[in-house]
Chain A
Amino acid sequence: MMRALIQSDLMKVKKMVWVMMIAFPAGLVGLQAVNYSLRLDHLLGLHDDYWYFLLENVHIFWPTILVLTLTLIISLFASVEHETHTWTKLFSLPVNNGKIYLSKLAIILTVLIVSSVLFVIFSMILGLSLGFGSDLPLMAASQMSLYTFIAVLPFVFIQFWLSMGFTNQGIALTTGIANAVFIMYAVDMPTWLPWRWPLLLEGITTIAPDIFYGLGTGVVLTVISLIHLTRKDVTA
């Protein structure tokens, strides 16, 4: 049943979702490519480990981009149903209401994971083409990408709840943009604030408590939002 639901949801996915999944990590790495090509010598002089420094650089805006991506993807998923008024139809299908959301969530998380993997691949390609050698820091890059993904989970569920729960996507988008901006300024914030977690301030390859906070909060928020969404009356 779950498989059928996911297949049906996949058919409804807008092309823009796939475009974002590829374009955002590509664009971000592309920006660093420009940055490096403009002032290569200066940047190489800043750090001994070229590869590690490259990863740090590409990571700077990655949390913000990831939050924007997930905000937009989730909103696109929700608006397909809101704008065509098909929630009622979905919920009258002979499936558990929770599964309808879980199916969407599964696709959204998969898109984000693929995007994260692409981000690692693109970064490797950039390093290689800058001539940093074939000793690829795959482990470090994967850790960076994975930890960021986990730390960003709470935002996935906030956006999921806002986008699916309210027909007005303006609220969800504004909140998502606010979160994305806030992350850029969260360096000085106390540790317990979720905006700080994806920044991986303890080092991009260090398993810091932040990551576990992200995971824990993410799981708690999933449960709460799914419970709320499935109990809510469906009217449109």
Chain B
Amino acid sequence: MNMMGEEMQPEVTKGAIRIEDVVKIYDPDGAAVMAVDHCSIDIPAGEICMIVGPSGCGKTTLLNAIAGFHDVTSGHIYLDDEMLCGPDNRKAEPGSDRIVVFQNGALFPWKTNLENIAFGPMMEGKLSKSEIYDKARSMMADAGLSGTENSYPGEVSSGLRRRVEIVRALMNDPKVLLFDEPYRALDSLTKSVMHEALLEIYYKNKVTIFFITHDLEEAIFLGHRLIIMSSRPCKPKKIVDVDIPHPRDYSVLTSPRFREIMNEAKGVVHEEAKKAFDAGEKEG
């Protein structure tokens, strides 16, 4: 499984996530909704872990628990050796070691792209403003964003916006990037460009990536591993190793191994989607 490309990368030692027996029950006005059911996932440092599952199964819920946006009902979540949440603190503290890239994007529209990217370090206050802006500019240049520094997010294409948001996340030197279907709204051509761009960024800044998606092709192209979730309440249903070596480019999409993995995953995903659909029919 360890191929040439992978061995060339420096070893990532930080950013392992361990989800242990996490349960999340939403209880607005007594109508308990179980979103996550005794879910355990181990993600080694530096892995791109793709979470695939039917609509409404509880993927965002799990991501929000890691990010610290809401509490869990029971269970533990660890980042390396640090317990983010457990029996004593059910809600993790949000922190710059875990940055979320949201489904609809959350760049601040009133700040220019450069100011957006500088936001995290400015809040941290360790570096001077000019050091931060220099770093931001060079990160933008690396990501092919030169020339858009002084534009507002609303003035650039949605593909560029996504890239700005990823660079903004990376400026915080996170251990983990949490993606909640960031490319859902993009057309498939832009998407393929974004995938290669994301991998390129990843090869330069190895972090752990927790990536939620509906799109199997995206999942297999990007991921070291696919975790296919059951319909709600969510827990891992099947884990698929993507033994295609990194660095990858779009040519792997047509490789026979890609097709094989796709076929293996498709059956499970379809089955769960059908369960979710049937459950929805019963409820609705």
A and B associate in one complex? no
Interface residues in chain B, defined as those with a beta carbon under 8 Å from any beta carbon in chain A: none
Interface residues in chain A, defined as those with a beta carbon under 8 Å from any beta carbon in chain B: none
